[in-house]
Chain A
Amino acid sequence: MDLNALRYTSSDEWARLDGDTLTVGVTAFAVEQLTDVTYLELPSVGKKLDKGQEFGVIESVKATSSLYAPVAGEVVEVNAEAVKNTNAVTADPFGAGWLVKFRVAPGTNLDHMLSKAQYDAKCAGH
């Protein structure tokens, strides 16, 4: 996974656009802050989300965090394996621990999101 090819949110999601499919997960930094993920709640396939809308919940023993859609889209696939085995998110947040795939409108871009350098700077200032 080329982390430079991903875009990031200040709420610690990452996103990758392949044609009209947007894959979203949480960053390694988020997982490190949460520590062991104990619970994951993801939306149903078919759910339509606005940009910035909450699409799920991720929990560790001590914290509960909401997950937000970085762009508008419709849920086409969720990582059911990660819901069953949340260790996948803890162990490989950019790979096997991806969360949701959205179908996005043609012409959607991620220009408003953070680059890796910008996101790293945000994390360093945390």
Chain B
Amino acid sequence: MSNRRTPLYDRHVALGARMVPFGGWDMPVQYSGVIPEHKAVRSGVGVFDVSHMARLSFAGPDALALLEDVFTNSVAGMKDTQVRYGLVCNESGGILDDVLVYKWPYGYAMVVNAGNREKILNWLDVRKAGKNVQIMDQTFDTTMIAAQGPRAISLASGLFEADISALKYYFAIPTRYQDKGCVVSRTGYTGEDGFEAMVPNAVGPMLWDELIAKGAVPCGLGARDTLRLEAAMPLYGHELTEEINPFQAGLSWAVKLEKGPFVGRETLVSAALDKSKPTRVGLVLGGKRAAREGSPILKEDDTPVGTVTSGSYAPHLDRSIAMGYVPREQSVPGTGLKIDIRGTAVPATVIALPFYKRAR
């Protein structure tokens, strides 16, 4: 089966992007290069096509009950237009996906990882049995564009009917772009301020062009990955899998065990107290050589204790950083470890996450 193309595909090709398959889509991995794109987001503003992310909306009297059942964070406690991060877990507490839930006055929405779209749709279908809720997949009808960086909000001034600068972090607003209904949320996956806009496909390319004309640098999945790694945001399929529970991943803040029953809760109650499983850590390496996913993590005596889940040269920090899973005894910041990079044991030190935090 050939990969899907977003409504911005022709724009990417015209901009000279290198296209790669990702989550069933042909996506731009880079335009000018990962390093300049990464730095543009840290210092100015970058723009990303994130239309591959799955966008679902929920209506009906039981929408809240369904979301409360499948989502580890609290939905009932959300204010109108609030956005909340959390996990969708299976019965054994393993992570099926990490998602954002949006609360509207008239219903809910969820943004799901591209590669997990069908899995989550199937899961929702199973869990909604007996409930009065309608789920609409809007992925293919809307274009999703992320503008990220310290100048992202000011750059978008006047683009949308609503004043985006009044949006609080992790809140969204239904507004209009080119007289078409759309949604803008103050969210992102880079560790910078910025927004994500979901607009009808008819005006998607126009918004993309307008942001670039105003000075936003087009950025690909390569920079998106190094940016989220510096910000220590987990990536599904790497830090998060069905074999890992949220407590191991350092995401206890996104699990509300006290909110009442939800899928996986019983297992997660004991997982919260279980100190025997490996836990996610950040590692700073000596030198600039990248530790790629799968590289063994060793103790100082060369005993293997874990595995790298993401690693790269970090363009803003100008050093090699990695995340991985190690036993709790090895997870204390300051612990000296090594990473086996293709036969060479490179020294690495555990540090408190995130690697990079923007000044507020």
Identify the A interface with B (CB < 8 A): 35-36, 38-39, 41, 57, 59-62, 64
New contact pairs (20) apart from A59-B289, A62-B29, A64-B342, CB-CB < 8 Å = A35-B30, A35-B34, A35-B35, A36-B33, A38-B290, A38-B313, A39-B287, A39-B289, A39-B290, A39-B320, A41-B289, A57-B342, A61-B35, A61-B222, A61-B226, A61-B290, A61-B315, A62-B30, A64-B290, A64-B292
Bound: A61/B219 CA distance, A: 14
Output the least CB separation between B316 and chain A (Å): 12
B119 cross-chain contacts in A, Cβ below 8 A: none
Q: Is B312 an interface residue (CB 8 A)?
A: yes
A61 and B292 in contact, given A35-B30, A35-B33 (Cβ under 8 angstroms): no
B108-150 CB mask vs A (1 if < 8 Å, else 0) is 0000000000000000000000000000000000000000000
A57 to B320 Cα, complex, angstroms = 15
Report chain B residues within 8 Å CB of A41: 289
Q: Which residues from chain A contact B288 at a C-beta distance below 8 Å?
A: 38-39
On chain B, the number of residues with a Cβ less than 8 Å from chain A's Cβ atoms is: 17
Chain A's closest residue to B221 (CB) is A62
- A residues in contact with B342, CB < 8 Å: 57, 64
Q: Which residues of the partner chain A approach B33 to less than 8 Å between Cβ atoms? A: 35-36
**What's the Cα separation between A36 and B34 when bound, in Å?**
8
Tell me the complex Cα distance, A36–B288, Å.
Answer: 13
A57 cross-chain contacts in B, Cβ below 8 A: 289, 342
Q: Smallest CB–CB gap between B15 and chain A, Å?
A: 15
Interface string of B194-235 (1 = CB under 8 A from A): 000000000000000000000000000010001000000000
Contact B290–A59 (Cβ < 8 Å): yes
Q: Which of B34, B287, B289, B320 contacts A62 (CB 8 A)?
A: B34
Q: Which residues of B contact A64 (CB under 8 A)?
A: 290, 292, 342
Q: Which residues of B contact A38 (CB under 8 A)?
A: 35, 288, 290, 313
Interface of A is mostly: strand
In angstroms, Cα B318 to Cα A61, docked, is 11
Q: A61–B289 contact, CB under 8 A?
A: no
8 contacts between A and B (CB under 8 A): A36-B33, A36-B35, A38-B290, A39-B313, A41-B289, A59-B313, A61-B222, A62-B222
Per the bound structure, the CA–CA distance linking A38 and B288 in Å amounts to 7
Chain B min CB distance to A66 (Å): 9
- How far, in whole Å, are A38 and B289 apart by their CA atoms in the complex? 8
CB closest chain-B residue, reference A90: B33
Q: Tell me which residues from 290 to 345 in chain B have a Cβ below 8 Å from any Cβ of chain A.
A: 290, 292, 312-313, 315, 320, 342
Q: How far is the CA of A39 from the CA of B290 in the complex (A)?
A: 8
Contact flags (1/0) for B250-292 with A, using CB distance below 8 Å? 0000000000000000000000000000000000000111101
Q: Report how far A62 CA is from B288 CA in the complex, Å.
A: 13
Determine the chain A residues whose CB is within 8 A of the CB of B35 once the complex forms.
35-36, 38, 61
- Give the residue name and chain of the A residue nearest to B320 (CB): A39
Q: In this complex, what residue of A is CB-closest to B33? A: A35
In the bound assembly, the distance between CA atoms of A39 and B289 in angstroms comes to 6
User: What residues of chain A lie closer than 8 Å to B34, measured between beta carbons?
Assistant: 35-36, 60-62
Residues of A near B315 (CB, < 8 A) are: 61
Tell me how far the C-beta of B283 lies from the nearest C-beta in chain A, rounded to whole angstroms: 16
- Closest chain-A Cβ to B227's Cβ sits at a distance in Å of 11
Instruction: Please name the residue on chain B nearest to A33 by beta carbon.
Output: B18
User: How far, in angstroms, from A109 to B16 measured CA to CA in the complex?
Assistant: 39
List, in ascending order, chain A residues with CB within 8 A of B226's CB.
61
Min CB distance B345 to A, Å, is 14
Within 8 A of A (CB), among B21-64: 29-30, 33-35
A11 CB, min distance to chain B CBs, angstroms? 16
Set of chain B residues within 8 Å of A62, measured between Cβ atoms: 29-30, 34, 222, 312
Which A residues lie within 8 Å of B313 (CB)? 38-39, 59, 61
Question: Chain A residue with minimal CB distance to B29?
Answer: A62
Q: Which of A38, A39, A57, A61 has the most CB of B within 10 A?
A: A61
Bound state CA distance, A59 and B313, in angstroms?
Answer: 9
Q: How far is the CB of A73 from chain B (nearest CB, A)?
A: 22
Among A36, A59, A60, A62, the one with the most B-chain Cβ atoms within 10 Å of its Cβ is A62
- B291 CB to closest chain A CB (Å) equals 10
